[in-house]
Amino acid sequence: MPFEYVAVYNRVGVEVFFSRERSFVWEGKGAPAGVYYYLLNFSKTDYNGYLLLLK
């Protein structure tokens, strides 16, 4: 199942991170602490959920 992309959105739905690299790293630099929504897209399946960024 090929990796397509990963996206991270803030609580109002604004995209704060996007990568097509399978070995992505999002450290939350420049983003305030809070809850974020993520979407991992593979060719046939999407995975999504929430993450909590603590600073």
The answer to whether the beta carbons of residues 23 and 15 sit under 8 Å apart is no
Beta bridge partners of 36: 51
Edge-to-edge strand list for the sheet holding 15-19: 15-19, 3-9, 34-42, 46-53
Average pLDDT over residues 45-53: 97
pLDDT tens, position by position, 7-41? 999 999 999 999 999 999 999 999 999 999 999 99
Give the residue from 7, 6, 8 showing the smallest Cα distance to 53.
Answer: 8
Q: Is the pTM of this model over 0.75?
A: yes
Q: How many beta carbons lie within 10 A of that of residue 18, not counting itself?
A: 13
pLDDT of residue 1 exceeding 90, the answer is no
Helix, strand, coil percentages in the chain from 3-state DSSP, rounded to 5 = 0, 55, 45
Average pLDDT over residues 32-55: 97
